[in-house]
């Protein structure tokens, strides 16, 4: 699953907006929009950990969420999304 799909699914499950996620992660709304539009994938380790922490239902689950997130990022790097030209 591409990172953008993973993130979109988590946003829907959390019932939050892109803007709310951006505020929680202290990122610009444009950054989150770029992640969802498959223009960029986070590379900063702090961002990756913060995303996993935000979407972890409990502290005990952060490892599972982080692994799932990292696998989606690896899949995205190995299978770049097709950009409309």
Q: What does pLDDT average to over the chain? A: 92
Task: Please report the pLDDT score of residue 85 as a whole number.
Answer: 45
Q: Specify whether the CB–CB gap between 42 and 25 falls below 8 A.
A: no
Residues 2-28 pLDDT 10s: 999 999 999 999 999 999 999 999 999
In whole angstroms, give the CA distance from residue 72 to residue 4.
9
**Lowest mean pLDDT across 2-6, 30-34, 43-47, 77-81:** 77-81
Instruction: Spell out the CATH class of 3-78.
Output: mainly alpha
Q: What is the DSSP letter of 80?
A: P
CB under 8 Å to 28, separation ≥6 — which residues? 22
Measured CA angle at 50 (ends 1, 22), to 5 deg: 85
Res. 64 pLDDT band, cuts 50 70 90: very high
Coil, strand or helix: which one is 26? coil
User: How do the domains of the chain map onto residue ranges?
Assistant: 3-78
């Amino acid at each position: 699953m591409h990172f953008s799909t993973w993130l979109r699914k988590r946003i829907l499950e959390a019932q939050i907006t892109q803007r709310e996620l951006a505020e929680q992660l202290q990122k610009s709304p444009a950054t989150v929009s770029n992640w969802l539009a498959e223009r960029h994938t986070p590379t900063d380790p702090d961002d990756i950990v913060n995303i996993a922490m935000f979407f972890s239902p409990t502290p005990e689950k952060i490892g599972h969420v982080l692994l799932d997130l990292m696998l989606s990022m690896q899949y995205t790097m190995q299978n770049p999304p097709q950009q409309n030209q």
